[in-house]
Amino acid sequence: MASFRKPIHIETVIEKIWKYRKSGENETVGLKDTLGRFLGEDIIATTDIPRFNKSPYDGFALRAIDIKEATSDNIVELMVIDCIGAGMISEKRVQPFEAIRIMTGAQLPDGCDAVMMLELVKEITKDGAVYIQVKKSLKQGENISFKGEDIVNGKKLLEAGIKVNPGIQSILATFGYSQVEVKRQPVIGVFATGSELLDVEDHLAPGKIRNSNSYMLCGQIERSGGKAIHYGLIPDSLEKVYHSINRAIEEVDILVTTGGVSVGDFDYMPIIYEKLHANVLCNKIAMRPGSVTTVAEVNGKLLFGLSGNPSACYVGFELFLRPLIRDMLGSKKPFAKKVKAVLGTDFPKVNPFTRFVRSKLYFQNTKLIVKPIGLDKSGVIYSLALADCLLVLPGGSRGFQAGMEVDVLLLEDQEGGEKY
């Protein structure tokens, strides 16, 4: 007989699971392998950037004072005494009315305080010496990239827990990090349970469907920064599911199952939690979809029983597993980022539980508009492919009208939020 389950609030679930979160350890990886990883250490500048005053143009380094009066009617001639490219240093020092030919990126020679672009001067040769004819003046400091203008030595540039993007890889390379401390990726095992399930390569048979949740969950785990172990399928068999879970739980930081958590005859997960002597933290959450999301703890490890219904499974992962994974990766903003948007269409359906509607964001002039996408049923999959956010509609007895301001949780954002 199905037992009554008391729904609990999302915040309470977070509080309960947060007690079992584990801070992730660090590991060292080569710089090329850091993309998408999370920094395990703060990154502090160890030099000024640029390291020296340098030329941003191919041109001539000169003294601004010498060309102060230069105009097209008053051409000033400077003698060119040297030529340097990036990586070269001039040993010469300019005297009045002298210049040094300089290429982009080369260190500005001592005594020079401005750079004139090549295209703006005429070069001539007189008595075997090269001169430039200058037709315009420059201010002191004009056309120079100054030492430290980008980054000052000693500045804290990036905090541990930030996701590495290509720009961060450029910083790491600049400061000589051939090896980088990153957070170890939490390992999350995924089992799909259900006798109706087939593998992707299997031919369809009457009453059967292909397992899509495992692939979706592994993708969600990887999008969150974790490492997924795809354990495959288990039919609805108490013994098989129990033994598979018992074995796998040793190999992972968190174990996720989909299916079999509701009250059906073949929904064995509740009995399996008992058999595992698991501490069930929740088995009904005041949310839609995903109300059957179950979380249990076995010897300090979390076991998530997500719904078999694909959309409920997806939402359960995003609300509870994503923040846990991000937290283990050292993120100070482990939750999905929440923004305000304008509801683009009426949503009359009422529900006592908070609803998370797969939706899409649009810009309309300067306004951010959110519209539900696809069918709002927990068994559907198409909306998952198209959604870039979850529209949050608080539970209650009234529907929602177009034009109302609503909260939206971003699915693809990488910065995150401090809470829901």
Ligand X SMILES: Nc1nc2c(c(=O)[nH]1)N[C@H]1C(S)=C(S)[C@@H](COP(=O)(O)OP(=O)(O)OC[C@H]3O[C@@H](n4cnc5c(N)ncnc54)[C@H](O)[C@@H]3O)O[C@H]1N2
Q: What residue ranges bind Mg ion (CB under 5 A)?
A: 262, 264, 267
Query: Minimum Å distance from CB 267 to Mg ion?
Result: 4
194: contact with ligand X by CB under 6 A: yes
For the chain, what is the HEC assignment? CCCCCCCECHHHHHHHHHCCCCCCCEEEEEHHHCCCCEECCCEECCCCECCCCECCCCEEEECHHHHCCCECCECEEEEEEEEECCCCCCCCCCCCCEEEEECCCCECCCCCCEEEEHHHEEEEEECCEEEEEECCCCCCCCCCECCCCCECCCCEEECCCCECCHHHHHHHHHCCCCEEEEECCCEEEEEEECCCEECCCCCCCCCCEECCHHHHHHHHHHHHCCEEEEEEEECCCHHHHHHHHHHHHHHCCEEEEECCCCCCCCCCHHHHHHHCCCEEEECCECEECCCCCEEEEECCEEEEEECCCHHHHHHHHHHHHHHHHHHHCCCCCCECCEEEEEECCCECCCECCEEEEEEEEEEECCEEEEEECCCCCCCCCHHHHHCCEEEEECCECCCECCCCEEEEEECCCCCCECCC
Euclidean distance between CA atoms 161 and 236, whole angstroms? 39
Interacting partner of 197 out of Mg ion, ligand MOO, ligand X, none (Cβ under 5 to 8 A depending on kind): ligand X
316: contact with ligand X by CB under 6 A: no
Span 252-291, contacts to ligand MOO by CB under 6 A:
288-291
90: contact with ligand MOO by CB under 6 A: no
309: contact with ligand X by CB under 6 A: yes
Of 39-47, 128-136, 302-310, 361-369, the window that binds ligand X (rule: CB under 6 A) is 302-310
378: contact with ligand MOO by CB under 6 A: yes
Nearest to ligand X of 90, 257 (CB atom): 257
C-alpha closest to that of 304 among 287, 281, 286, 327: 281
Nearest to ligand MOO of 172, 306 (CB atom): 306
Euclidean distance between CA atoms 118 and 60, whole angstroms? 7
Query: Minimum Å distance from CB 324 to ligand X?
Result: 20
Span 299-318, contacts to ligand MOO by CB under 6 A:
307, 309, 312
Query: Minimum Å distance from CB 316 to ligand MOO?
Result: 8
Nearest to ligand MOO of 145, 291 (CB atom): 291
Of 134-142, 210-218, 328-336, 347-355, the window that binds ligand X (rule: CB under 6 A) is 210-218
270: contact with ligand X by CB under 6 A: no
Query: Minimum Å distance from CB 364 to ligand MOO?
Result: 31
Nearest to ligand MOO of 259, 344 (CB atom): 259
Interacting partner of 310 out of ligand MOO, ligand X, Mg ion, none (Cβ under 5 to 8 A depending on kind): ligand X
Query: Minimum Å distance from CB 152 to ligand MOO?
Result: 52
Query: Minimum Å distance from CB 205 to ligand X?
Result: 14
Find the residue with minimal CB distance to ligand X.
308
Query: Minimum Å distance from CB 288 to ligand X?
Result: 8
Span 219-258, contacts to ligand X by CB under 6 A:
258
Query: Minimum Å distance from CB 309 to Mg ion?
Result: 8
376: contact with ligand X by CB under 6 A: no
Q: Which residue has the tokens 């495992």?
A: 214
C-alpha closest to that of 359 among 349, 344, 379: 344
Which residues of this protein are in contact with ligand X, per CB under 6 A? 192, 194, 196-197, 209, 211-214, 258-264, 267, 289, 291-292, 307-310, 312, 378-379
Interface contacts to ligand MOO, rule CB under 6 A: 288-292, 307, 309, 312, 378
